Amino acid sequence: MFFLLYFDSSKDLFTKIMSKDFVIIYTDGACSPNPGIGGWGAVLISKEHNLRTELSGSEVDSTNNRMEMTAAIKALEALKKSCIVKLYTDSSYLKDAFEKNWLNYWQNNGWKSKARKPVANKDLWLRLLEVSKKHEVSWHWVKGHSGNPENDRCDELAVQARKKFAKSN
């Protein structure tokens, strides 16, 4: 392990970097039918503070992709200060938008896809971009329904939220 230090005129730069908490987030979305009633779930873990938080919610008219994105938004919004975040999702759509620079392409292209069609879920992409700026987020894909306990828990939370909403309406 090594540390790279560099000089910055801001004397608090090192303190700012070292004072950020590290948080692991798992997220998932569910929609049935798709489109239809959707649910989302998130698990936030801070090992240094020995904290684990579970979040979930639902929407009446949604899609699976919207619920995947909402889970990430809600999880990042729940962080009370700027953090270093390792975010796990089983949505390659969500991860690739950040990791493969699709978002930069869409923004530079007037929020149009390569096929020159409007990008779906622009409202949520804008919210994700905004909330992501507050943190240092790295995006990671995890195979869904494959025995990863945290991803499986997020799926349970999302499905429970969706079913609870459907039952109450």
Architecture of domain 20-168: 2-Layer Sandwich (3.30)
> Which one of 28, 38, 39, 59 is the catalytic residue?
28
> Which one of 59, 90, 135, 150 is the catalytic residue?
90
> Which one of 8, 77, 140, 145 is the catalytic residue?
145
Q: Which pLDDT belongs to residue 169?
A: 77
> Which one of 29, 38, 39, 41 is the catalytic residue?
29
Question: Is residue 42 pLDDT above 80, yes or no?
Answer: yes
> Which one of 41, 57, 68, 150 is the catalytic residue?
68
Q: Give dist(CA 60, CA 35) in Å, integer.
A: 10
> Which one of 38, 39, 59, 155 is the catalytic residue?
155
Q: Is 29 a catalytic residue?
A: yes
- Percent residues over pLDDT 70 in the chain: 89
Q: Is 8 a catalytic residue?
A: no
User: How confident is the prediction for the chain on average, in pLDDT?
Assistant: 91
Q: Which pLDDT belongs to residue 14?
A: 44
Q: Is 123 a catalytic residue?
A: no
pLDDT 10s digits, 133-167: 999 999 999 999 899 999 999 999 999 999 999 99
Q: Is 145 a catalytic residue?
A: yes
User: What one-character-per-residue DSSP string does the chain give?
Assistant: --------S-TTHHHHHHTPEEEEEEEEEEEETTTEEEEEEEEEEETTTTEEEEEEEEEEEE-HHHHHHHHHHHHHHH-SS-EEEEEEES-HHHHHHHHT-HHHHHHHTTSB-TTSPBPTTHHHHHHHHHHHTTSEEEEEE--TTSS-HHHHHHHHHHHHHHHHHHHH-
Question: Is residue 2 pLDDT above 60, yes or no?
Answer: no
Q: Is 49 a catalytic residue?
A: no
Confidence band, pLDDT 50/70/90 cuts, at residue 18: low
Q: Is 135 a catalytic residue?
A: no
